[in-house]
Amino acid sequence: MKKYKIITYGCLANHSDSERIAKKLEDQGYLKSENPDLVIINICSIRQAAVDRAFAQAKKYKNVIVTGCLLKSDYDKFTKYAKIVKKENLFSVKPKNSCLIPIMTGCNNFCSYCVVPYTRGREYSRPPKEIIDEAKLFINNGAKEIWLLGQNVNSYKYDFPKLLYKINSIPGDFWIRFLSSHPKDMGNDLIKSIRDLPKVTEYINLAVQSGDNEILKKMNRNYSIEEYKKLALKIKREIPNVCLSTDIIVGFPGETKKAFQNTVKLFKEIEFDMAYISKYSPRPGTLASKMKNQITFEEKSRRYSELNNLLKKISLKRNKQLIGQETRALINNNFIGKTKNFKTIKVNGSSNNSFVDVKITKALIWGLSGKIK
C-alpha cells in the first residue's frame, strides 16, 4: 500500500485544497500515514515564518512534493529538497467529509503588504450552481457546517447575499459560515442576510489591519478608521449575539508608537471577540517591503505582546457576559466544539460531530464551558 502525508500551512482555503489533494491520492490507492512514502507540503507565502517551517519539514523527508500559493523566490528555495508541483484546478474534486467550499479565489485589492494577488492571481468567482450542487452533496453526506471561502466574499461576482439565501434554503440541519470580508465592500444586504437567514451563523471576520488612518492609507486598504468603526458598531447593533473578529498587522513600515496606540485604542473601543495578530513580514515583490522605516523585530514582538494581552482581557470580559445564556453548539471531538457564533466551547459529553443545546456555565480567556441540556 502506498502511504502519504499532507502538511498544510496557511489559510482555510489552503486546507480546503489539501483535503481535495488527499481525496485525489486516496482515489489512487494512497493511505494516510505518519510513516509516509510520499509527503505533500502545501504552503502559502503570506508570512516568512510559514515558509521557514515548511522548509524545515521538506528537509526531513525523502520523497517530497511542494505545492501551494508560493512566490517564485520561495519556490526556488525548495527545489533542492522537493519536487515542485503547481496546483491544478482542484474544484472538480469533491472531498467526502469536508465542508470547506471555495466560492472564489484570488484577489484584486493589492494591499501593499500582501502576496495573495501575486500568488493566487486575480479574482475568479465560481458560478453559483457549481457551489450549490457541491453544498447539497456535502449536506446529503451528513455535513453539519459549510464554510464558504474567498479572500473577499463581498466581491463575489454573482451576489454573495443571494448565494447565502440559496444555500440557506437547501433542506437539512446545518450551519453556513464564511470567510473573509473586506470592510470596504461590506454592504447592508449582507448584514441583513446574516441577521435574517437562520442557517447563517453570527460570526464575522472583518480584518481592520491597523487602527491608524495613515497606516491604513499606506496599506492601501481604502477605508478610514472612522468608516470601519461605524461599520463594526452597525454590525454589533443589527445582529444580536454577533461575534466579531479581526486581523491585525503590528509593525507595518512607518508605524510610529502613536500609530500603534491607535490600534490599541480601537481594540478598547470595539472589543473584538477575537483577533488574529501578525507581526509584519516583508514579502518580496510587494510595495511595503520597499518602504522606509521598517520596524525592528524586537519592537514588533513588543507590540504583539501588548495587543495580545489586551485581547485576552477583552475576550475574557466578553465571554463572562455570556454566562447563563443558552446556545446551540456543534461538538467535534473530545467534548470540544463551537457555538453558533464561533466561540470555542467545552461541554460535559456528546457524540462526535453533533449539535447539542448547552447552557454556558464558565468563561475562559479563549472560550467557554457549558453543560448539555
Q: What is the total count of residues that contact ligand 5AD (CB under 6 A)?
A: 13
In angstroms, give the least distance from the CB of 207 to ligand 5AD: 4
Per CB under 6 A, which of residues 208..227 are in contact with ligand 5AD?
A: 209
Give strand pairing partners of 247. Answer: 276
Binding of ligand 5AD by 338 (CB under 6 A): no
Binding of ligand 5AD by 67 (CB under 6 A): no
Binding of ligand 5AD by 280 (CB under 6 A): yes
70: closest CA among 281, 290, 283? 283
Residues 76/284, Cβ–Cβ less than 8 Å: no
Binding of ligand 5AD by 281 (CB under 6 A): yes
Which of ligand SF4, ligand 5AD, none does 280 bind, CB closer than 5 to 8 A by kind? ligand 5AD
- Other beta carbons within 10 angstroms of residue 264's beta carbon come to 14
Which of ligand SF4, ligand 5AD, none does 47 bind, CB closer than 5 to 8 A by kind? ligand 5AD
Binding of ligand SF4 by 152 (CB under 6 A): yes
Strands of 18-109 (E only): list them: 30-32, 38-44, 64-69, 83-84, 100-102, 104-105
Rounded Cα–Cα distance for residues 276 and 12 (Å): 14
- Other beta carbons within 10 angstroms of residue 158's beta carbon come to 14
Which of ligand 5AD, ligand SF4, none does 152 bind, CB closer than 5 to 8 A by kind? ligand SF4
Binding of ligand SF4 by 151 (CB under 6 A): yes
Helix locations, 109-244, DSSP H: 116-119, 128-140, 160-168, 188-196, 213-219, 225-238
Rounded Cα–Cα distance for residues 80 and 57 (Å): 13
Binding of ligand SF4 by 329 (CB under 6 A): no
Cell of 284: 518580496
Binding of ligand SF4 by 117 (CB under 6 A): yes
Per CB under 6 A, which of residues 95..114 are in contact with ligand SF4?
A: 107, 109-111, 114
Residue 196 CB contacts under 8 Å (≥ 6 apart), including other chains: none
Which H helix or E strand runs over 56?
helix 48-60
Which of ligand SF4, ligand 5AD, none does 65 bind, CB closer than 5 to 8 A by kind? none
Give the contact letters, 99-128, x = binds to ligand 5AD (CB under 6 A), - = no. --------------xx--------------
Residues within the interface to ligand SF4 (CB under 6 A): 107, 109-111, 114, 116-117, 151-152, 182
What does the binding site for ligand 5AD look like in residue numbers (CB under 6 A)? 11, 46-47, 113-114, 207, 209, 247, 249, 278, 280-281, 283
